Chains A and B, each alone.
Chain A
Amino acid sequence: AQTVTQSQPEMSVQEAETVTLSCTYDTSENNYYLFWYKQPPSRQMILVIRQEAYKQQNATENRFSVNFQKAAKSFSLKISDSQLGDTAMYFCASLFNAGNMLTFGGGTRLMVKP
């Protein structure tokens, strides 16, 4: 079975600082994608960043970047220059080639403080 684990239920960061959210996963497959989704109070799940497992280079999207450690099955999200609008639940998720669905971690609630 595929599993995704987020060990930090809640985190906080001061505005303009950097924060890292942790995620680990377990799979025996070689072909898969990893994602970070943001869910603000509006409930809309918004894709933040994605990483293809076959790519060694870490994905980046503006202030968001990942540290993908395939051997360690680790996929952390770094948010630089945190903004008040980054306050939300963040979900790590995986999509494995053998399956049809996203497998989600339990989420991390991030609070950005002014």
Chain B
Amino acid sequence: GAGVSQSPSNKVTEKGKDVELRCDPISGHTALYWYRQSLGQGLEFLIYFQGNSAPDKSGLPSDRFSAERTGGSVSTLTIQRTQQEDSAVYLCASSLTGGLGEQYFGPGTRLTVT
């Protein structure tokens, strides 16, 4: 079946602009995760959605970052007033059950802030 998909594949934006990154998880997966991969910080967790529960936002680096998951499926990560340090690859993953269940990753969105 189809895997996790993300769009756009690449995004170049000017400093100060807002961006939206999209993730389509594997159908039926209840858990969805966002991670960021950057040269300076490596791979770091951003946010986790599980079913209808309140998301775990403990990894969001600032209040310029927010995410939502509509209808328990598609998720959008929004970065407001982008800064150059936001340049990174943003990876989305989904899991059938969450918890200790296996996470399947999408191909990521490479964000470049100029």
Contacts and interface: CB of A to CB of B under 8 A. Distances in A.
Interface centre among A45, A100, A103, A104 (most CB of B within 10 A): A100
B2 interface: no
**Size band of the interface chain B makes with A:** 20 to 34
Contact of B107 (A44, A47, A100, A105): A44
B51 interface: no
Given A44-B107, A102-B35, A97 B100 contact: yes
B105 interface: yes
**Size band of the interface chain A makes with B:** 20 to 34
Contacts of B59: 101
Interface string A23-35: 0000000011100
A102 B100 CA distance: 9
20 contacts: A37-B105, A42-B107, A43-B91, A43-B108, A44-B106, A45-B93, A47-B102, A50-B102, A95-B100, A95-B103, A97-B99, A97-B100, A100-B99, A101-B45, A101-B48, A101-B56, A102-B43, A102-B103, A104-B44, A106-B42
